[in-house]
């Protein structure tokens, strides 16, 4: 089967795996106090052009969202997100589990606009009953979004400005950050993201690592005793080195960006091929997730050869599917897919 269902179907990039092999028998302190984790943090600070940034490593995306959001919100606050936001749908209620509401705004192609956000905050402020309502305490965006779309530099700057004017931190879920940054349509750098966001994370699980996300606090805004809080929520690995070593490798010689670029190159080739063959797209995505409309007959045929994701029913005879490339997709696999389409 051709693996286009998601971007986490294989292990680690060979260089990442090699780093695990090379460091395996070196005895190191636990709980992220090892030298590899420290070195990874420094390399990420450098890549973000943010020498004061504070970096923490957590195993997966849902866990990262849960730990970060719950510790940044005050008791009666909720997190503002697009209705299509991952935390609102496919994380099994992990934010509510921590006692907080996800306050949804209608997403525009998966994104929150500065205008909609300001309008929401104004309405909340003006509502005479807001003392009996959940207060907006954090804004959550994803980059690339769940629909593969991107914020432009201007859009992110505008959002950031609204957040700061309202003293609400801006948090970016970067589970697919590399795939966003390497898109031909992206005009943002990692340094821009560190500048505009108060907290964000650099996804490893989907971008070359076995597991692991790097959370970056850019504004001296780490919650007090944050490692104890991570532990309390079950999110502290005894062998923190497992993630540190991998990010150390990912941020050596720009590996993170190179392997993201590989996935994007293949995704753009796929997108062109789909266009050439006359397929309709559910949404115009410039990143590694492509959302394509197929007839149900085409779908049945495709499923014989391709692992893909069902996305949604379009009409009685059409279905939208998701095809995903990753750091591990090969040119051969892509060509085989295109040949079938």
For 181-199, b/e burial (b = at least 16 CB within 10 A) is: bbbeebebebebbbbbbbb
**Residue 92 found at the interface with a copy of itself (CB under 8 A):** yes
Q: Which is nearer to a copy of itself, 98 or 161 (CB)?
A: 98
| 22-61 positions binding a copy of itself, by CB under 8 A | 23-31, 59-61
Per CB under 8 A, which region of 42-50, 138-146, 202-210, 257-265 contacts a copy of itself?
202-210
Provide the 10 A C-beta neighbour count for residue 161. Answer: 14
Give the closest residue to 143 by CA, choosing from 66, 210, 61.
61
Give the nearest distance from C-beta 109 to a copy of itself in angstroms. Answer: 20
Q: Which whole-number Å values give the CA distances from 267 to 284, 287, 313, 327, in the listed order?
A: 12, 7, 23, 11
Q: Which whole-number Å values give the CA distances from 301 to 36, 157, 258, 306, in the listed order?
A: 47, 45, 34, 9
DSSP single-letter state for residue 9:
S
Q: Which is nearer to a copy of itself, 157 or 211 (CB)?
A: 211
CB 304 within 8 A of CB 290: no
Radius of gyration over alpha carbons of the chain, in Å? 20
| 247-286 positions binding a copy of itself, by CB under 8 A | none
Q: Which is nearer to a copy of itself, 195 or 229 (CB)?
A: 229
Give the nearest distance from C-beta 120 to a copy of itself in angstroms. Answer: 14
**Residue 317 found at the interface with a copy of itself (CB under 8 A):** no
Per CB under 8 A, which region of 63-71, 154-162, 189-197, 277-285 contacts a copy of itself?
63-71
Query: What is the Cα–Cα distance from 2 to 333, expressed in whole angstroms?
Result: 6
Per CB under 8 A, which region of 75-83, 153-161, 178-186, 192-200 contacts a copy of itself?
75-83
Please select the residue that binds a copy of itself; options are 132, 167, 317, 332, rule is CB under 8 A. 132
Q: Which is nearer to a copy of itself, 52 or 76 (CB)?
A: 76
């Amino acid at each position: 089967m051709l693996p286009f269902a998601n971007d986490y179907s294989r292990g680690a990039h060979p260089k990442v795996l090699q780093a695990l092999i090379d460091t395996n028998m070196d005895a190191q302190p636990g709980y992220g106090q090892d030298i590899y984790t420290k070195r990874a943090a420094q390399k990420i600070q450098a890549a973000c052009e943010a020498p004061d940034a504070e970096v923490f490593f957590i195993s997966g995306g849902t866990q990262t969202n849960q730990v970060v959001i719950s510790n940044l919100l005050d008791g009666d606050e909720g997190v503002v997100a697009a209705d299509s936001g991952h935390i609102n749908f496919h994380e099994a209620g992990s934010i509510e589990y921590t006692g907080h509401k996800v306050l949804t705004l209608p997403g525009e192609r998966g994104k929150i606009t500065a205008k909609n956000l300001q309008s929401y905050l104004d309405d909340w402020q003006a509502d005479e009953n807001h003392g009996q309502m959940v207060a907006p305490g954090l804004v959550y965006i994803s980059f690339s979004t769940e629909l593969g779309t991107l914020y432009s530099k201007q859009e992110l700057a505008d959002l950031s400005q609204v957040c700061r004017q309202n003293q609400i931190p801006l948090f970016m879920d970067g589970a697919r950050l590399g795939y966003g940054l390497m898109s031909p349509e992206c005009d943002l750098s990692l340094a821009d993201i560190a500048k505009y966001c108060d907290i964000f994370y650099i996804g490893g699980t989907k971008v070359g690592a076995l597991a692991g996300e790097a959370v970056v606090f850019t504004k001296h805004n780490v919650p007090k005793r944050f490692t104890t809080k991570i532990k309390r929520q079950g999110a502290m690995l005894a062998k923190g080195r497992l993630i540190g070593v991998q990010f150390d490798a990912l941020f050596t010689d720009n590996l993170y960006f190179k392997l993201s670029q590989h996935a994007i190159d293949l995704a753009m080739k796929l997108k062109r091929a789909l266009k050439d063959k006359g397929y309709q797209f559910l949404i115009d995505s410039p990143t590694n997730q492509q959302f394509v409309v197929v007839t149900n007959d085409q779908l049945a045929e495709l499923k014989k050869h391709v692992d893909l994701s069902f996305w949604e029913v379009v009409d009685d005879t059409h279905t939208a599917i998701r095809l995903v490339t990753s750091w591990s997709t090969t040119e051969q696999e892509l060509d085989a897919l295109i040949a079938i389409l």
